[in-house]
Structure 1
Amino acid sequence: MKLNSVVMIAVCSLLIPSAFAASDAQRGQQLSMQGDGSGAPCLACHGASGEGNAAGAFPMLAGLNEGYLFRTMKAYQDGTRINPVMSMNIDNFSEQDLRDLAAYFAQLPVPQTAASSAPQELLNAGEKLATLGNWDAYIPPCSSCHGPNNLGVDENFPRIAGQHASYIEQQLKAWQQGQRSSDPVQLMEAIAKRLSDEQIKAVAAYLASQPAQ
C-alpha cells in the first residue's frame, strides 16, 4: 500500500501543472526592453547589459542571483521594499514576468570592475571594514554574510563586490535611516546604524573597486 501511494502521488504530480512555467530568459529580455506597459523599460536605468548607472545610483543587475532578483522585484511590488521609481515601473508585471526578468539578468555576463578613483586611504579603511569588520563596535565584516570576496551567497545575500559605490552608499543610508525594512531580522539596519558617514563612504568605495567575478 505504501508503494502504491507513492506511485499515485508521483503520477498526480505529473498531471497537475505547476503554478508557474519555467523561467524564460529570452522572454525576460523582451520584457526588459519594452517595460510593463506604463513605466520605463529596465534598460533605461539599468543599462542595455544590466551594467547599471553609477551617476544615478542605479545598481548593476547583470549576474546577480536569480532568486534574489525575483525576490527583490516582488518586494517592490508588494511594498515591503519601497522605491517609487521601481514600484511604478514594474507594478504591471505578473509574477511570471518577474521570474523571466530575473532569469534574464541573472544570466548576463558580469561587467569588468572599473578602476577606482577613490583615495587609497579611503579604500584601505573600507577594506578593513569589509574584510575584518570592527568588532569593538559590533560591526561584522561584510564577507561574513555576503560570502568569500563578497560575491554573494544564494538568494539571501547578494553579490556586492563590484557594485556601484553610489548605490551601496545609498542603500546603507536607507538602512541607517529606517527607509528599508525588507530584512525580517533587521540585521543590515542594525549594522548600518553603527556606521559613520565616513565609514559608509569607505566601505562602498572599497566594495565597488573589487572584482565582481
Structure 2
Amino acid sequence: MNTTPWPLAGLCGLLFALSAQADEPGQKIYAQGGANPAAMACATCHGADGMGMGAAGFPRLAGLSAGYMAKQLGDFRSGSRTNPIMQPIAAALTDAEIDQVSAHLAALPAPHPERLGRARQATGAGESLALRGAWERDIPECVACHGPGGGGVGEAFPPLAGQSAQYLSAQLQAWRQGARKNDPNDLMGHIARSMTDEEINSVAEYFAGLGQKEVTP
C-alpha cells in the first residue's frame, strides 16, 4: 500500500516530469544548443517558451509542425532559404538534432485562435484578404491554405495567427523580392508580388492580432 501523502506524491510526480523534460534531447538543444558550439540555443532569440520575440522579428516556433520545422532548418542548412543568423546555426546541427528539436517545438503549447473562415463577414483590408482573397488578381484567401483562423495545416502551411506583424510582413516582402523562395511552385512569391505594401502590412497585422484572441480548443 502506498503511504505517501497525496500532496507529496503529486509534488514528486511534478518534479519527475520536469526532470524528464530537462533531459529530453530536443528540449536541451532548444535551451542549450547543439553539440557543435556554433549551434547556439534557439531560446536565445525565440524565447524560453518558443513564442518568439516579435519586436526583434524572431517568429513563434511553439506549435509549428515537426515536418515544417525540419524542412525549414534543412533549407537554411542547404542555403535554399537564406538568413544570416539561421544559416550557420542550421549548418551546425546534425540530422538527428534537427529532428529532435523540431519534435520538441511541435509539442510546445501554442495559441488556439478562433477558427474563422469564409463564412465570417470580413471588415477591413487585412481581414478581407485573409478570408476572401482578391481573386481578380489571382490572390487566394489566406485561410484556404493556412486553415481557418490561420491556425496552420499539416507540414506545408504553417500557422499565421500568433506570429508578429513584423515577421509576417518581412516574409511577404522577402517572397515578393525573391529573397525567399523555398515554397512549392513559387506559390507565395506569386501571391506576394500581387499585393501592395499596404495589403502586406494590413494582413500581417490582422493575423498577429488574431493570435491574441484565443478560444478553448
Q: Tell whether the 8 Å contact from 1:146 to 1:158 is kept in structure 2 after alignment.
A: yes
Match of 1:77 in 2: 77
Match of 2:186 in 1: 186
Alignment map for 1:5-154 (pairs within 5 Å): 26-36=24-34, 37-111=37-111, 124-154=124-154
Quote the Cα distance in structure 2 between the aligned partners of 1:90 and 1:73. 6
Quote the Cα distance in structure 1 between the aligned partners of 2:207 and 2:111. 15
Considering Cα pairs closer than 8 Å and 6+ residues apart, tell me whether 1 or 2 has the greater RCO: 1
Quote the Cα distance in structure 1 between the aligned partners of 2:67 and 2:84. 22
Deviation beyond 4 Å, 4+ runs, structure 1? none
List per-residue Cα deviations over 1:44-95 (Å, max 9, x = no partner). Answer: 1100010101111100000111111111111101111111100122221101
Quote the Cα distance in structure 1 between the aligned partners of 2:40 and 2:67. 23
Amino acid at match of 1:73: L
| Fraction of identical pairs, as percent | 41
Match of 2:20 in 1: none
Residue 111 and residue 146 in structure 1: after superposition, are their counterparts in 2 closer, same or farther (change >3 A)? closer
Taking structure 2 as the reference length, the TM-score comes to 0.79
Quote the Cα distance in structure 1 between the aligned partners of 2:182 and 2:112. 29
| Structure 2 residues without counterparts, runs of 5 or longer | 1-22, 114-122
Match of 1:206 in 2: 206
Quote the Cα distance in structure 2 between the aligned partners of 1:110 and 1:48. 13
Amino acid at match of 1:137: R
Taking structure 1 as the reference length, the TM-score comes to 0.80
Quote the Cα distance in structure 2 between the aligned partners of 1:88 and 1:41. 12
Deviation at 1:111, TM superposition (A): 4.6
Structure 1 range deviating more: 47-56 or 27-36? 27-36
Aligned length: 180
3-state SS in 1 of match to 2:194: coil
Quote the Cα distance in structure 2 between the aligned partners of 1:112 and 1:136. 32
CA RMSD of the aligned region, Å?
1.7
Amino acid at match of 2:38: S
Deviation at 1:124, TM superposition (A): 2.0
